[in-house]
Structure formats: structure tokens, C-alpha cells
Amino acid sequence: MSNLAEIETKTSAPPAEDAPERRQWPRWLITLISVSCLLGLWEIFGCDVNPVFGSYPSAIAVAFWQLLVSGKLWAALFESLQPFFAGYLLAIVLGVPLGLVIGRFRTAEAALGIYVTAGYAMPLVALVPLLILWLGLGFKVKVAVVFLMALFPICINTWLGVVAVPKTLIEVGKSFVAPDLVILRRIVLPATLPYIMAGVRLAVGRAVVAMVIAEFFTTISGLGAVIINSANNFDTATMFVPIIILMLMAIGLNSLIGWVERTVAPWQAEIAGRDRE
Amino acid sequence: MGEVTFLDVSKRFSIRVEGELHHVQALDRVNFKVADGEIVALIGPSGCGKTTALRVAMGLDPSTSGRVLVDGREVHGCGHDRGMVFQHAELLPWLNALQNVMFGLEMKGMRGAELRDTAEKYLELVGLTDSQKRRPHQLSGGMKQRVGIARALAIDPGVLLMDEPFGALDAQTRESLQAELLDIQARTGKTIIFVTHDLDEAVLIADRIIVMKQGRVHDILTVPLKRPRADLGMVRGTPEFADTRYKIWRELHDGEVVH
């Protein structure tokens, strides 16, 4: 019996010997070459530009070093990250359950779906003054801005993920008499995880933008303050330092989330495979 | 411990095809009775209502009128007195074989050491003790369906309902699973109602075959083969097998009842 099954699995896999022998470049090397080319071109052409209108990598590196040794960079980063993570984590903690409920229950979808769809397109910058009136100029309003920007992509992705869960998997739960909430937690949630993680990734970018907006429009602080102050002093090289740090942070968070996804949902990568040209 | 009665069961669907509303009479006053420990096959052309009948019996779809009784109790939704085996096994992809069997048991309220022991016992019954740590995508089609059968059997239902359980498998795997199903039934004494479009399968496994057409019970045939049917290869060679198979074939093709 089990022999039959073994034969079946063996024959279903394509024979590895027949595949053309091809040496593939490692992904990190391709990325490294791409980044080096970009930095090289920027360095060559950036040098010729008036330093007020633009900058170039080596000048930015010098500015970075100066900010670092003066201790300003660490202080600004620390100040920025607190509202960032508070708002971002709050968006995950509330956005995922909200998306699950909206996707699973048609009453919730009809009652709340419209706000989530509208909220995603909300021109938040325009609402910041109002948020300041409600929450003041400090920590709270920054958390609120980051939260509002990150919530909707997480919620919408979760919602779409729930809608895409195969009906038969839900019926498995039903036929074993699982209560609605158990179906939601033990079937819908794990089946939706890839969508949730995609939403969580999209939200990183929006949360970073939201953080800078908040620092521009409320109490000027953190990395946003470094950007504004150096821009006002026509110190373009220094202005680029926090911008690049924020982009690097987003890349780091994305790979962290990717790692979390592979850890909590290893079956997904195993099913989908990573075999691409 | 597993008697199923269909009393005048009807089921109407409304579907919208290119803007036009169509009414489909999936089941039309279906009556039949399945005795405890009996194996019954539902067979018929696609769209004849055989899967709908099974889903109504499981409680996944409500009937429009009529009643389904299981051991005298009317079916309202799903219950632990019935176990469902799905066409493509439908294992939860994030759980391994053992956890998939445990899932059903947990829903029945079982916890602790008893939960694990029971799940292991039923995986052993379907011959998968060595593969209990594998996730569904690491199992072959036949192995998946065995886990599906173990999951349904583990909750110890009186009735096993199977929706084309071996339809997606290759011929060799299908044959061995058919033999295994008969063996499991002999050991557990479950009532089995299964949907199939495979004439051979219906005759090989079932005690009685319900032929359905256009939502109605067209005919009910008793298979003149005794159980246990240890060697299915030999059963295939008997004149009774050929005769019954031919009768059903005729009924499905020209609709004429041949007795």
C-alpha cells in the first residue's frame, strides 16, 4: 500500500538529471551589482550638480558620519521609531481581526466594508490639522497618523484573503460542527495568512511615509526634523541621510516580515515553491 | 447506530446564468432508507442530484421540503453522528496528517492524551502511521484521501458520507483504497453512503445501488454479491458483477429499468 504511494510521489517529481545544467547567479549578488551600478552612476553625475539642488553618495556618506558621531542621528531615530512602531503594531492588532470579521460575516461587510474602502483613499495629510486639535501635538497624534495610514491596507488585504478562502475548507469545519469563531481562528485565519502578510508588508511603506508626515506637521521631531532643518539650511546631503535610512529601514522590515511569514506559515512557501526565471 | 431515511426530500436551487434566473430541481421527492451497517452507492449522470442528496444528509445544505432522519432524529445542520469524506480530501494544508485527524476530534471536545491516542489509532487503521508528521502537500493523492477517511472515522460517527472519494485518484490507488474501505467497514460496522460515477466501484463496494436521474430515485438495485468481498479482483470476474454492472449501465443509458 505505502509502496504504491511512494512510487506515486517519486514519479510525480520531474527527473532532476534531465534539467539543463545551468549556473544561476545568487540573488544577493544580482542585488549588489544593481545597487553598485546605481550608486556609481549617481556619484559620477551627482558631482556635477550644484550641492543645493542635489547630492551624491560620497557627500551623503560624509553627512551620515557627521550626524552619527554628533549623536543627533541616534536621538532622532529613537524619537521617530517609538510612534512608528506603536502605530504600526496597533494597526496590525486591530486591522487583522477587523478584516477577518468583515470578510467572514456579510452583515459586518455591509455595515463596515464601505468605511474601510473609503478610509484607504482618505487624504490623511488634509486631516492632520484636525487630528492635532483632537490629540495635541505630541506622541499621541503621531501614533494616530501612522495607525490610520497602516490600518487600511492590512484590513483590506485580510478581508480579500478571507473572501478567497476555498468554501470547501469552511465546510470541513462545519461538518465537524466547529462553531463560527473556531472556524474563523482555526481555518480562515491560517488560510488567509499569506494575504495578511502581504498587507502587513504594504503597510510598512505607508507607515514610514505617515511617520514623516506626522513629524513635519505636528511637533517637528525625529528624522522628519532632520530632513526639514537640513533642507532649510540648504544642506541637501544631510537631508538625504534620514531619507535613505528610512528606505533602508523599510527594506529591513520587509525582509523581517518575510522571515516571520516563512516561520509562522511554512506550508505556503512549500506549496507555492520559489522556482522562477 | 446508523440508519438513514430520506422522506420526500426535495431541494430547489436558483442560479443566475447570464442574467437569467434559472430554477433547478436538484432533488425531487427522494425517498429511500439505508439500514445500519449497509453500504449504499448513489450513482447517476452529472447533475442528477446525487451529491446534493449527500450534502443534505450531511446538513451542509438544507432541503427545501421533506426530512432526512438519522437514527430517527431529523437532520438540522451538521452533527457528530455523521462523518463526511470530501472529494479531494480537503485536508487543512497547515496541519500535518495527525493534526488533521485531531482537528475533527477536538471539535468533538476531546482533549489531552486521549485526543492523540485516538488520532494515532485511526491513522493506523488507514495504514499511515509512518506518515503522520507529513503535511498534505507531502502526501500522495491516495494518502491524502486516507487521512480524510481517518478524520471522518475518528469522531466515531454512525454514518460515513463520501462524495466521490476515489474519483480523483489513479486506477491502481483507487483499487487498493476500495479494498481498504471494505475492510475498514467490516471492522467498524459503519453505515456508508457514497456518491460515485464509477459503475465498477458502485458494484464492487455497495450492498445496494441507488440510481438517480433528474433529481429522482430512478431505481434501487440490490447487488447479489455477499460480503466480505476479500478479493475484489475475483469479484470482478463473477457473473453477478458483470450482470449487475450491465443492468446499471443500461439504466443509465436508455433509462429503461431492467430486472
pLDDT in tens, A241-255: 999 999 999 999 999
Taking an 8 Å cut-off on Cβ atoms, the answer to whether B142 and A8 are in contact is: yes
Cβ of residue A180 closer than 8 Å to a chain B Cβ: no
Which residues of chain B make contact with A6, given a CB cutoff of 8 A?
A: 140
Q: Which residue of B has its CA nearest to A5?
A: B140
Whether the per-residue pLDDT at A5 is higher than 70: the answer is no
In the predicted model, what is the mean pLDDT of residues B71-97? 93
Query: pLDDT band for position A274 (50/70/90)?
Result: low
Return the minimum-mean-pLDDT range out of A236-250, B63-77, B242-256.
B242-256
Which residue type sits at A135? L
Query: pLDDT band for position B256 (50/70/90)?
Result: low
Residues A62, A121: contact at Cβ < 8 Å? no
Best A171, A176, A180, A186 residue to mutate vs chain B (most B CBs within 10 Å): A176
Residue B42 burial (10 A CB sphere; 0-12, 13-18, 19+): buried
In the predicted model, what is the mean pLDDT of residues B66-80? 93
Taking an 8 Å cut-off on Cβ atoms, the answer to whether B180 and A1 are in contact is: yes
* Chain A, chain B: beta-carbon pairs less than 8 Å apart: 80
Cα A129 to chain centroid, rounded: 26
Least CB–CB distance from B79: residue in A6, A9, A177: A177
Whether the per-residue pLDDT at A12 is higher than 60: the answer is no
Cβ of residue B134 closer than 8 Å to a chain A Cβ: no
Cβ of residue B171 closer than 8 Å to a chain A Cβ: no
Cβ of residue A168 closer than 8 Å to a chain B Cβ: yes
Least CB–CB distance from A176: residue in B103, B128, B176: B103
In the predicted model, what is the mean pLDDT of residues A164-186? 94
Q: What is the mean pLDDT of chain A?
A: 87
Least CB–CB distance from B142: residue in A4, A168, A267: A4
In chain A, what percentage of residues exceed pLDDT 70? 90
Whether the per-residue pLDDT at A1 is higher than 80: the answer is no
Cβ of residue B137 closer than 8 Å to a chain A Cβ: yes
Q: Which residue of A has its CA nearest to B136?
A: A267
Q: What is the pLDDT of residue A29?
A: 92
Query: pLDDT band for position A14 (50/70/90)?
Result: very low
Which residue type sits at B63? S
B175-228 pLDDT, tens per residue? Answer: 989 999 999 999 999 999 999 999 999 999 999 999 999 999 999 999 998 888
The C-alpha angle with vertex A267 and arms to A263 and A270, in degrees rounded to 5, equals 105
Q: What is the pLDDT of residue B56?
A: 95
Cβ of residue A170 closer than 8 Å to a chain B Cβ: no
Cβ of residue A185 closer than 8 Å to a chain B Cβ: no
Query: B50-70: string of b/e by CB count within 10 Å (b at 16+)?
Result: bbbbbbbbbbbbebeebebeb
Which residues of chain B make contact with A175, given a CB cutoff of 8 A?
A: 58-60, 78, 82-84
User: Looking at CA atoms only, how far is residue A205 from chain B in angstroms?
Assistant: 29
Distance CA A127, CA A4 (A): 65
B100-120 pLDDT, tens per residue? Answer: 999 999 999 999 999 999 999
A124-158 pLDDT, tens per residue? Answer: 888 899 999 999 888 999 999 999 999 999 999 99
Which residues of chain A make contact with B128, given a CB cutoff of 8 A?
A: 2
Whether the per-residue pLDDT at B255 is higher than 80: the answer is no
Residues A152, A120: contact at Cβ < 8 Å? yes
Residue in A186, A197, A274 with CA at minimum distance from that of residue B95: A186
Query: pLDDT band for position A11 (50/70/90)?
Result: very low
Distance CA A214, CA A216 (A): 5
In the predicted model, what is the mean pLDDT of residues B223-236? 87
Q: What is the pLDDT of residue B168?
A: 84
Annotate chain B with three-state secondary structure.
CCCEEEEEEEEEEEEEECCEEEEEEEEEEEEEEECCCCEEEEECCCCCCHHHHHHHHHCCCCCCEEEEEECCEECCCCCCCEEEECCCCCCCCCCCHHHHHHHHHHHCCCCHHHHHHHHHHHHHHCCCHHHCCCCHHHCCHHHHHHHHHHHHHHCCCCEEEEECCCCCCCHHHHHHHHHHHHHHHHHHCCEEEEECCCHHHHHHHCCEEEEEECCEEEEEEECCCCCCCCCHHHHHHCHHHHHHHHHHHHHHHHCCCCC
More confident residue, A68 or B85: B85
Cβ of residue B78 closer than 8 Å to a chain A Cβ: yes
Cβ of residue B61 closer than 8 Å to a chain A Cβ: no
Q: What is the ipTM of this complex?
A: 0.90
